[in-house]
Amino acid sequence: LGGSISRALQQMSNATIIDEKVLNECLNEISRALLQSDVQFKMVRDMQVNIKKIVNLDDLAAGHNKRKIIQQAIFNELCKMLDPGKPSYTLKKGKTSVVMFVGLQGSGKTTTCTKYAYYHQKKGWKPALVCADTFRAGAFDQLKQNATKAKIPFYGSYMESDPVKIAEEGVERFKKENCDLIIVDTSGRHKQEAALFEEMRQVSEATKPDLVIFVMDSSIGQAAFDQAQAFKQSVAVGAVIVTKMDGHAKGGGALSAVAATKSPVIFIGTGEHMDEFEVFDVKPFVSRLLGMGDWSGFMDKIHEVVPMDQQPELLQKLSEGNFTLRIMYEQFQNILKMGPIGQVFSMIPGFSQELMPKGREKESQARIKRFMTMMDSMTNEELDSSNPKLMNESRIMRIARGSGRPVREVMEMLEEYKRLAKIWSKMKGLKIPKKGEMSAL
């Protein structure tokens, strides 16, 4: 996919005369990529029309960095399509908000409810979960298990079969307990059915939610628009969460959901675990839609800040997807040497924030140096392995002793490694652009 877009843009750069025909060819090729990413046909067509209005052929003809102009225009247009123009309801800490989750069965509602609760709990909210799904067997058990793990109070019933009654009672109870974020999980059906929407309408009427969140599986493809619209017609959907972004689907259906509900995407789900949940960030999302990966900016930056002689080797390692402790060590060396490389890592979601938070560069550097001291006590086998299981207890103790650092810090360093390795694993199979192709995408 990314390849086809790169090719399209490459073709453009080779054409000596940029005319409308070339622009069309380029747009068509990018449109195909978007359709493959599940962006709705009509939206792709609208995007094409808008791009033609925006991109000034004379500018292109004059040779003003053609590829950048078109790329930027398409990128901006897609970002705009994901922005409904108004933010979603803002929760206020200490003031009770009721948030209702809706979506088809299997979309990830129950999982996402807990993630959402957990996310806010960490930020000082007092959340609670209400299970108003009496349709799916085991729904209450699932929510109970999740809630217990996250130490979040929950409400539900094995006996009561009326979801409206449970929802009402649950919300009532948690209001009394001064919870400031009461989350109502609802049932879904496999298909869009009248009974489901009637149930959603009634639960909403009984609980008066401040916000209704539509949960959407990133892989539902072209069905997203109708699905989102059907929910919007029965309850006041005010936000969208796209789940399973860790899979292969690019989530182009999100554009449809935004259009159908006139609501923004607020979070994405990136795994089954409680903390695999990210605040929605439009730019990496659109990069991914276009098949650019989250890595396009990163690759550009690598060329700016990683020493020339180290680049091919690093890129090769990255594309193999084997992130070893030694690679981490070498990258730490770069970070300390170059300082501004922090910028490079800020291109990667979840990276800079924790490794080099803004304003805390000094502390971060000291931490990185400590990590390196510990890594100096590692064997070659340990440094060159990409298997974290290798690091058993006795090895951890040995490294702690050898480096004179507490075991806790060794563990922390290994956690950091695991986190980075996970991010790095996404680079596996990455096509390494040759020199000169770099600025194309």
Contact footprint for Mg ion (CB under 5 A): 109-110
Quickly count: other Cβ atoms within 10 Å of residue 33's Cβ.
Answer: 23
Of 108, 127, 209, 238, the residue at the interface with ligand GDP (CB under 6 A) is 108
CA 143 – CA 109 distance, rounded (Å):
10
Kindly identify the residues of this chain, within the stretch 267-296, that bind ligand GDP according to CB under 6 A.
269-272
Q: b vs e for 161-185, b when ≥16 Cβ sit within 10 Å of the residue's Cβ?
A: eebbbbbbbbbeebeeeebbbbbbb
Of 71, 97, 110, 287, the residue at the interface with ligand GDP (CB under 6 A) is 110
* 182 strand-pairing partners: 98, 128
Per the CB < 8 A criterion, the answer to whether 81 and 43 are in contact is: yes
Sheet with strand 97-102: strands edge to edge: 154-155, 127-132, 181-186, 97-102, 211-217, 237-243, 265-269, 277-279
Among the residue ranges 15-23, 31-39, 200-208, 242-250, the one whose residues contact ligand GDP (CB under 6 A): 242-250
CB of 101 to ligand GDP, least distance (A): 8
Of 66, 67, 109, 288, the residue at the interface with ligand GDP (CB under 6 A) is 109
CB of 114 to ligand GDP, least distance (A): 8
Residues in the chain, overall count: 441
What does 269 interact with, of ligand GDP, Mg ion, none (CB < 5 to 8 A by kind)?
ligand GDP
| Strands 97-102 vs 127-132: parallel, antiparallel or unpaired | unpaired
What does 243 interact with, of Mg ion, ligand GDP, none (CB < 5 to 8 A by kind)?
ligand GDP
Per the CB < 8 A criterion, the answer to whether 184 and 167 are in contact is: yes
State which residue, 109 or 126, has the beta carbon closest to ligand GDP. 109
Of 246, 330, 409, 416, the residue at the interface with ligand GDP (CB under 6 A) is 246
Cα distances (angstroms) measured from residue 18 to each of 13, 70, 315: 9, 12, 33
Identify the residue whose tokens are 């123009």.
85
What does 272 interact with, of Mg ion, ligand GDP, none (CB < 5 to 8 A by kind)?
ligand GDP
CB of 269 to ligand GDP, least distance (A): 3
What does 108 interact with, of Mg ion, ligand GDP, none (CB < 5 to 8 A by kind)?
ligand GDP
CB of 104 to Mg ion, least distance (A): 10
What does 244 interact with, of ligand GDP, Mg ion, none (CB < 5 to 8 A by kind)?
ligand GDP
| SS3 at position 236 | coil
Sketch the per residue contact string, 47 through 86, with ligand GDP: x for CB under 6 A, - otherwise.
----------------------------------------
Per rule CB under 6 A, is residue 350 in the interface with ligand GDP?
Answer: no
CA 277 – CA 388 distance, rounded (Å):
23
Contact set with ligand GDP (CB under 6 A): 103, 105-111, 188, 243-244, 246-247, 269-272
